Chain A
């Protein structure tokens, strides 16, 4: 009987310990969540403070009683934020669209068609994944300059299209479609292009959606190449735009208006993320890399 009581005490203490551990876990996780969220909170908060009230706060205030949208108006009128957004949208959509078409064709060739040197070529493709963009950007800069394509959409888009990784991802996915379907289509006299369009693409739609979203995110955030290739504000993307706002800004150091611009730039991607959360996280964990 005594033994039994011992066990109960033992179990109670184990339970207490695991409860304490859980509490610590939640506290720790919440702290990191706050670290992640705080900059977002601060940018929204600051964007809602008026220029005057922000600058009169010697000690930062964690809330505002008189929120104003004037900074957003300022961001769209005093600097060409609307133009930056439009440029980025055009750049992202066109680049992504061409990327999807080009990658699909290449992946299809690797996955389904037979030709001499296929394996060698694919190995070469894979090894191209290792090439750091920093190495090739120099010559690309020279090439685009020599082609007189600086400050133009073709100059922005052309070197940004290809992504070996997405070709690889698509090829793997295409190969999972059973061979029998292809043979059946061949027997029925379906052309390769029609088979690709009518069978492969519908089956592999989830992967196509994933790479589309990932590419859009990549385009929306791209900074280095656009910075090198554009010096005319009319062709700035949001990343260069925000840097321009920071350095030459609103004619004066207008932090609330800057924050309003930051919110406007950040919102589209956050909305996209919240809609396609599962797809994005799955795609990234399969090998996406930041930058």
Chain B
């Protein structure tokens, strides 16, 4: 009786999760192995690793892979380090702290696509205007650069900048609460012993919040590897043409849109992404395993 009731309570979520999470998870592996899948007729003519080979040799995929790796390698350390500096500053002040915290959190609740448009306007150089950022650059005697349609590194810079801007609220929030949870007695003990500010920070604060930093780095890696909408917001939906595609963008382009209709290639690319993320997460976990005192 009770047994049946429990399953009844679980039924809606089981059905939804089964249909839209578990089944697709299995199915995506099947798709990725079906060669020559035709979407219209839902037929295929072989099973093998051809889809993976195709994806791995597709210049668009390689471009997306390169873009994503650059994005990850730049934004994860920059945003984590910056968030650490900002939250340390934030925890050392009392007046105005709430105000700063509220302001810093704003990007979290804004629509990535919408605000990305503002960034595009700020950075873009058109025939009417060089844009605001170029105005600032001109103050320092630097020539105008088109950050949106111009050279690769200019575009990459904007993408990284925007990505950092978007992920900062979460990191600042997590680190600020981590810093606040350090028992003040440790700082008192350090003061009695005459520990310098720098040494207190490196020898006490950092090790104390290390678990949270590890957490942020891991989630940061995962998030950055899945970058997509930030790029769309800045460079439009045709990311391949802009040369700014990401792995996730490649998956969606394969699935849908002008170059779409290839769920097999999309599946293979998605699984490759998953493997990369899993590997990097495992490495991260192994490296951070040393902190066994927690």
User: Is the Cβ of A114 less than 8 Å from the Cβ of B106?
Assistant: no
> Assuming A29-B93, A259-B121, is B20 touching A102 (CB within 8 A)?
no
Q: Which of B224-241 contact A (CB under 8 A)?
A: 226, 228-229, 232-233, 236-237
User: Is the Cβ of B28 less than 8 Å from the Cβ of A139?
Assistant: yes
A30 to B129, CA, bound (A): 29
A152 to B87, CA, bound (A): 44
Annotate A1-43 by CB proximity to B: 1 below 8 A, 0 otherwise.
Answer: 0000000000000000000011001101100110111011011
User: Is the Cβ of A40 less than 8 Å from the Cβ of B28?
Assistant: no
Interface residue B119 (Cβ < 8 Å from any Cβ of A): yes
Annotate A208-240 by CB proximity to B: 1 below 8 A, 0 otherwise.
Answer: 000000000100110110011000000000110
When C-beta atoms are compared, the residue in chain A nearest to B93 turns out to be A25
Which residues of B sit under 8 angstroms from A140, Cβ to Cβ? 20, 24
Secondary structure dominating the interface of B: helix
A211 to B174, CA, bound (A): 18
User: Is the Cβ of B20 less than 8 Å from the Cβ of A158?
Assistant: yes
Q: Which of B200-259 contact A (CB under 8 A)?
A: 219, 222-223, 226, 228-229, 232-233, 236-237, 248, 251-252, 255-256
Q: Which of A67-113 contact B (CB under 8 A)?
A: 101-103, 105-106, 108-110, 113
Interface residue A64 (Cβ < 8 Å from any Cβ of B): no
What's the tally of chain A residues with a CB closer than 8 Å to chain B?
91
Which residues of B sit under 8 angstroms from A116, Cβ to Cβ? 3
> Assuming A138-B24, A138-B255, A142-B263, is B111 touching A238 (CB within 8 A)?
yes
> Assuming A105-B9, A167-B13, A277-B102, is B113 touching A223 (CB within 8 A)?
yes
Which residues of B sit under 8 angstroms from A192, Cβ to Cβ? 5
Interface residue A66 (Cβ < 8 Å from any Cβ of B): no
Annotate A180-208 by CB proximity to B: 1 below 8 A, 0 otherwise.
Answer: 00000000000010000000000000000
Secondary structure dominating the interface of A: helix
When C-beta atoms are compared, the residue in chain A nearest to B175 turns out to be A285
Q: What is the minimal beta-carbon distance from B225 to any residue of chain A, in angstroms?
A: 9
Q: What is the minimal beta-carbon distance from B70 to any residue of chain A, in angstroms?
A: 19
User: Is the Cβ of B117 less than 8 Å from the Cβ of A242?
Assistant: yes
A103 to B2, CA, bound (A): 19
Q: Which of A106, A115, A253 contacts B13 (CB 8 A)?
A: A106
Q: Which of B22, B110, B277 contacts A128 (CB 8 A)?
A: B22
Interface residue A270 (Cβ < 8 Å from any Cβ of B): yes
Q: Which of B9, B128, B173 contacts A285 (CB 8 A)?
A: B173
User: Is the Cβ of A58 less than 8 Å from the Cβ of B113?
Assistant: no
> Assuming A105-B9, A273-B105, is B237 touching A143 (CB within 8 A)?
no
Interface residue A161 (Cβ < 8 Å from any Cβ of B): yes
Q: Which of B23, B103, B237, B252 contacts A139 (CB 8 A)?
A: B23
> Assuming A28-B89, A39-B119, A270-B110, is B9 touching A135 (CB within 8 A)?
no
User: Is the Cβ of A138 less than 8 Å from the Cβ of B263?
Assistant: yes
Q: Which of B10, B102, B122, B274 contacts A109 (CB 8 A)?
A: B10
> Assuming A28-B85, A29-B100, A105-B12, is B19 touching A290 (CB within 8 A)?
no
User: Is the Cβ of A134 less than 8 Å from the Cβ of B251?
Assistant: yes
User: Is the Cβ of A269 less than 8 Å from the Cβ of B110?
Assistant: yes
Q: Which of A39, A118, A135, A164 contacts B28 (CB 8 A)?
A: A135
User: Is the Cβ of B117 less than 8 Å from the Cβ of A262?
Assistant: yes
User: Is the Cβ of B274 less than 8 Å from the Cβ of A132?
Assistant: yes
When C-beta atoms are compared, the residue in chain B nearest to A25 turns out to be B89
> Assuming A102-B12, A258-B117, A273-B105, is B7 touching A115 (CB within 8 A)?
yes
Which residues of A sit under 8 angstroms from B168, Cβ to Cβ? 36
Interface centre among A29, A143, A288 (most CB of B within 10 A): A29
A167 to B222, CA, bound (A): 22
User: Is the Cβ of B2 less than 8 Å from the Cβ of A115?
Assistant: yes
User: Is the Cβ of A131 less than 8 Å from the Cβ of B252?
Assistant: no
Binds A, one of B57-65, B149-157, B264-272: B264-272
Which residues of A sit under 8 angstroms from B174, Cβ to Cβ? 285
User: Is the Cβ of B229 less than 8 Å from the Cβ of A37?
Assistant: no
- Beyond A28-B86, A136-B21, A277-B102: 10 further Cβ-contacts under 8 Å? A29-B86, A36-B165, A113-B5, A136-B25, A192-B5, A238-B111, A242-B113, A255-B121, A265-B111, A290-B108
Q: List 22 A-B contacts (CB under 8 A).
A: A32-B104, A55-B128, A58-B130, A102-B16, A106-B10, A113-B5, A115-B3, A136-B24, A138-B266, A139-B24, A139-B27, A158-B20, A224-B228, A227-B252, A238-B113, A262-B114, A262-B118, A273-B105, A285-B174, A285-B177, A289-B219, A291-B223
